[in-house]
Structure 1
Amino acid sequence: MTEFSTRAIHSGQEPDGATGAVIPPLHLTSTYVQDGIGGLRGGYEYSRSGNPTRDALQTLLADLDGGVAAFSFSSGLAGEDALLRAYLEPGARIVMGNDVYGGTHRLANRLHVPWGVELVTVEMSEPDRVRAALADSPAKTVLWVETPTNPLMKIADIETLAAIGHEAGALVVVDNTFASPALQQPLSLGADVVVYSTTKYLGGHSDVVGGAVVLRDQELADQVQFVQFGGGAISSPFDAWLTIRGIKTLSVRMERHSSNAQAIAEALLAHPAVEHVHYPGLPEHPGHAIAAKQMSGFGGMLSVALAGGPEAAKRFAESTELFALAESLGGVESLIGYPSEMTHASVKGTELAVPENVVRLSVGIEDVRDLVADVQQALDR
């Protein structure tokens, strides 16, 4: 088997047979001419059910994570919703971390709980608590693991939790958005399903919204495929093409994201205005050893708690010059956000609320000296 960075460029990307074009063509079509009734060319009839550009992305995604199938969605949440609808039923249970992305919790709490699904949140970095939350699980149970978490960068031991989940008969799902398949391979560690917001590192350029579900079980993959077909939450051909283009540079980008974030974390740690830095690349991070075991790099995301409280945090978030104040993450440019009132506003006042002195940084691939100077001048104001 070829190495990851080689597969990221070549898997599902055979040169065009008609012209020899190195980059496969973008199939911007909604429908396909048939050679008589039922005479489909290549199996394509309508782009909701299949499109060559989307298929190329799905082949690539499945290969990168070692899955039997992958599906590309119109957003990360659309992919998560399709997976849950495909697997769960009334009376089922979802066990997820008490620090998951606010949108994921909102999806489960506002859309699936009213359908009759039980939602339990637990500290995923403590396996005994996870085991207790899975006790007496119903037949349909999902253990939803996010690692590193958004935004407090907690680390969960995927291999250990997968074993605990399977012991309880649960489907083990890992949100691998922050690490990307370049840094972490959850299926190889025992997970059943990997989900992504491909908007983030996989796309990598803040110009496309998308999601992905990668599975290692064909039966469940067929169910997810039907839910996607029936519900229609597909990625467009152009969005799929942009995501493919982004994945080609994923390996080199993640190396730079990781090295830049490490330098930023160390610089923040040394500043008197900083109370705490959440970054798994720091030896003092409680999940550092586990992250070093299951990740090949520590990623480009970190968060920082300001000693001056909420006002200091807001001032810092609004004072950077290179770090743009914006939601989302994972692009080549650096972004900064205030989770309590931005990405995680939907869980404010709950167990999942983000402390109001916390600022989240998505460290881009700019020159690290410029980025360090920017955070330092913002903290000094």
Structure 2
Amino acid sequence: MELAGMELDNGPATRRPLIIHPNSDVTIILKNPNAPFAPLLANADTASTSAAPGASDEVRFLVSAKDLKYCSPFFRNALDNNWKEAVEYRKNGSVELTTEGWDLETFGLLMRLFHWKRTYGAEDPLLILRPSLPHTDTQIEPMAKLVVLADYYQCLALIKSFYAVEPEKVVTVDLDADGPEQRIQKMYLFVAWAFNWPTYFRAFSWNIMHTANGPITALGLPLPAEIIDELNRGRKLTLRRMTAYLKKHYNSYRERLPCEDTWCQSTRLGLLTLFMQRNHLLPSTADFRGVSVYSLKEAALSMKSFRRKSHVCARNRPNLTPKQIFLQDDFPDLVQGLEIAQFERRDVE
């Protein structure tokens, strides 16, 4: 993602001011640019910023108060109320505002979007700025950064105008439990929520519930708590149903072994015991830490049976391995993806 007309100085300690508006009266100081964005919990404590240790890294954006206030209620409040910045602006005709941690290119893009009328005059901003905007299918992290920034500055309507139509085809991601793909799925879920894309929201909420191997968090993304709670509820409900079904067979094998053959009995019970222990179900924790719906099903379906060819079960019942248990007609249905309409949305300005 490049910012047309903006020359970025990559020096860590000092950078030339970035002139967004030629007649600027507001300087926005972006400190600690490019801070970690939506870090995985395992890396949250050790993630480092892009600045060199000890460096005082900041970037100054020269902008116009009129355009900031026109596009963003956040800046309108900052410059029109009785905050000290507003008092200074009214007194001196200029002011410095400070913010921190935003991605440098994303912040610069938002500032250009604020100023597109003055920058490009009567030309259609879509034709000029479209190449700078991140794409849904290949640039979800830059897109999520832009949406988070717009959410913070209360100007989602401006960004949504560029993404008014939900893509027809949902992007496919690998079902990698709680790895980088889980992080990507949460970014897609947040973007779908912000833009009110029901198909994406349903698909990625389903993915998250079925691939998370521990409590689901927002990774710092401004998703409503109700959505996170419902994701955790759906995940645990599915795992509780699956675990209860497996334990029903486990207890049945322990109490009423369906075959008098010692080898058949021990194999049937042993395979299921081993499977449940390896997948953290004997014993299981309240939040099912270390196990996901997806990994549990994949482990069961890939497990081989050790049945002897010469053995015929005395009671003419199938030798149910974990794989065969998962394929039973009465195996509990998996929880479906969430419907975006079930959550109350705040109005997008």
TM-score range, shorter chain: under 0.3
Higher strand share: 1
CA radius of gyration, larger in: 2
